[in-house]
């Protein structure tokens, strides 16, 4: 693990960052945006008693509700204006991507390029507004059902709650887009990352306090630490793992010059979908239970109470559904981001081929077969990482922040952000070399 971490940090030249003004502006913009997000998680909804709500939350905190609070950076426990976080936006993205695969009109828009993507993004925003309003209304009804939480129940409170929570989600969606465009890393992933990381210190302190009180043994705490280190090392190894396909370019003549044959590799990541499947799976599990956990039926009888019970953390139905969704989205998202037919056509146009494989359709079939096999390994890896630690967390009653899902998000987002910083530094070095070459040419 130490060698992997050293190799990862070696990619970042801190002295070069200090000299790159554009990169510094991007980093400061990202940090500033995340600070704004964290401040918003401490601003409570108008019309509620935060202390009374936190007491009710502590009594009802279990299963998916606590997972929702983790993704929201503790905003659910404080019932802040960012309590919904960007989960409605992620849910809307999932639904739109699924519809794109089955509705010809959306599929045609996707193939139109930038203009089509803008239209699809607009549809995603509209659906985000609807989902956020639906979830916010369910939360408002649930808050009114908790005695002493709402000072003045009624339609004014419900409307103000819906507008506040919906506005918070739309603001975070916009903030994430700004981070992606003007900062470093993927904005939506960084917002979730910031919420999880911010809660790590309190989770560590609470775990040590449980050990001091004798609620959990010292051996179990050490086992969790060792398990976390092993999971982090395993995530780094698997996220960097690739299956390289050998590509050969034959000897060719361009004008009077003859170019020798060359070889290169087509790298296929073992986990092409990255951290998307666990986030998507968690989002879909949160969607039907958000209203259930905050409704008047919580702890009572009825359909909502049944959903809350069976989808509780550590329950067999929860784990089976979670794994099934992770596997599905691992294959689904891989199919979206990587097109074997398009890759084979590009190789054929540039004269490249896989040794022993006929260019064109046969190459596409071979790449698709290889991609299917490694995606099976990637989906199994994601399922193991997300499920086994969660089972231990459920058994030991430890905070969710030590689970596989949170560690996967933190490590993957960190690696992606470091890779983007390294890319900006390489681009600056490349531009510097071009300028030097031009100056030499002018002097001659």
The per-residue pLDDT for 172 is 92
Residue for token digits 């399922």?
Answer: 383
The per-residue pLDDT for 79 is 82
- CA-to-CA distance for 434 and 444, rounded, in angstroms? 16
Distances (CA, A) of 261 to 248, 254, 348, 362: 7, 13, 15, 22
Q: In the chain, pLDDT over 70 holds for what percent of residues?
A: 77
Q: Which residues pair with 48 in a beta bridge?
A: 150
- CA-to-CA distance for 425 and 12, rounded, in angstroms? 8
Q: Which residues pair with 150 in a beta bridge?
A: 48
The per-residue pLDDT for 399 is 58
- pLDDT confidence of 18, banded at 50, 70, 90? low
The per-residue pLDDT for 360 is 82
Q: Is the pLDDT of residue 170 over 90?
A: yes
Q: Is the pLDDT of residue 296 over 50?
A: no
- Cα torsion angle, 330, 69, 138, 320, sign: positive
- Cα torsion angle, 95, 96, 98, 99, sign: positive
- pLDDT confidence of 313, banded at 50, 70, 90? low
pTM for this entry: 0.77
- CA-to-CA distance for 51 and 441, rounded, in angstroms? 71
Least confident of 133-147, 214-228, 277-291: 277-291
324 vs 69: which has the higher pLDDT: 324
Q: Is the pLDDT of residue 252 over 80?
A: no
Most confidently predicted of 141-150, 184-193, 211-220 = 184-193
The per-residue pLDDT for 3 is 45
Q: Is the pLDDT of residue 194 over 70?
A: yes
- Which among 52, 127, 47 is positioned nearest to 87, based on CA atoms? 127
- pLDDT confidence of 33, banded at 50, 70, 90? very high
- CA-to-CA distance for 131 and 98, rounded, in angstroms? 16
Averaged pLDDT for residues 128-146: 83
Averaged pLDDT for residues 36-43: 90
Domain ranges within the chain, ordered by starting residue: 2-443
Q: What is the CATH number of domain 2-443?
A: 1.10.3370.10
Least confident of 87-96, 210-219, 306-315: 306-315
Q: Is the pLDDT of residue 381 over 80?
A: yes
State the DSSP string of 288-357.
HHHHHHHSTTTTSSSHHHHHHHHTSTT-HHHHHHHHHHHHHHHHHHHHHH--HHHHHHHHHHTT-B-TTS
State the average pLDDT for the chain. 78
Averaged pLDDT for residues 280-306: 60
312 vs 334: which has the higher pLDDT: 334
- Which among 82, 164, 71, 88 is positioned nearest to 127, based on CA atoms? 88
Three-state secondary-structure class, residue 150: strand
The per-residue pLDDT for 314 is 65
- pLDDT confidence of 5, banded at 50, 70, 90? very low
Torsion of CA 2, 277, 180, 236, to 10 degrees: 10
Q: How far apart are the first and last CA of the chain?
A: 51
Q: Return all residues near 187 (Cβ < 8 A) that are at least 6 apart.
A: 33, 175, 176, 177, 178, 179, 180
Q: In the chain, pLDDT over 90 holds for what percent of residues?
A: 10
Torsion of CA 68, 74, 80, 86, to 10 degrees: -50
């Amino acid at each position: 693990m130490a060698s992997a971490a050293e190799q990862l940090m070696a990619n970042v030249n801190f002295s070069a960052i200090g000299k790159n003004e554009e990169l510094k502006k991007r980093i400061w913009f990202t940090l500033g945006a995340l600070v704004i997000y964290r401040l918003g998680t401490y601003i409570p909804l108008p019309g509620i008693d935060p202390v009374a709500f936190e007491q009710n939350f502590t009594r009802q905190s279990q299963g998916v509700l606590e997972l929702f609070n983790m993704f929201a950076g503790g905003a659910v426990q404080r019932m802040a204006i960012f309590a919904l976080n960007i989960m409605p936006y992620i849910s809307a993205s999932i639904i739109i991507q699924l519809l794109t695969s089955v509705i010809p009109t959306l599929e045609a828009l996707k193939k139109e390029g930038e203009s089509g993507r803008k239209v699809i993004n607009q549809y995603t925003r509209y659906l985000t507004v609807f989902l956020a309003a639906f979830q916010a209304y369910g939360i408002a009804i649930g808050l009114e059902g908790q005695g002493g939480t709402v000072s003045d129940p009624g339609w004014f409170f419900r409307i103000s709650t819906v507008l506040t929570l919906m506005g918070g989600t739309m603001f975070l969606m916009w903030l994430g887009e700004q981070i992606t465009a003007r900062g470093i890393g993927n904005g939506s992933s960084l917002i979730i990352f910031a919420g999880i990381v911010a809660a790590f210190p309190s989770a560590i302190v609470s775990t040590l306090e449980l050990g001091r009180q004798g609620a959990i043994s010292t051996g179990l705490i050490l086992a969790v630490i060792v398990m976390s280190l092993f999971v982090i090392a395993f995530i780094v190894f698997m996220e960097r793992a690739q299956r390289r396909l050998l590509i050969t370019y034959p000897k060719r003549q361009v004008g009077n010059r003859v170019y020798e044959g060359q070889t290169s590799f087509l790298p296929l990541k073992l986990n092409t979908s990255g951290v998307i499947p666990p986030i998507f799976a968690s989002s879909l599990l949160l969607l039907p239970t958000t209203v259930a956990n905050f409704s008047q039926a919580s702890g009572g009888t009825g359909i909502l109470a049944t959903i809350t019970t069976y989808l509780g953390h550590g329950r067999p139905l929860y784990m089976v559904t979670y794994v099934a969704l992770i596997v599905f989205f691992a294959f689904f998202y891989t199919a979206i981001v990587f097109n074997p037919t398009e890759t084979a056509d590009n190789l054929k146009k540039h004269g490249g081929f896989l040794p022993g494989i006929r260019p064109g359709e046969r190459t596409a079939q071979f790449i698709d077969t290889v991609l299917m096999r490694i995606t099976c390994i990637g989906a199994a890896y994601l399922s193991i990482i997300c499920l086994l630690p969660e089972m231990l967390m459920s058994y030991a009653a430890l905070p969710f922040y030590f689970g596989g899902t949170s560690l996967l998000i933190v490590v993957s987002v960190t690696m992606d952000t470091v890779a983007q910083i390294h890319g900006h530094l390489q681009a600056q070095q490349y531009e510097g070399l071009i300028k030097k070459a031009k100056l030499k040419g002018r002097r001659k």
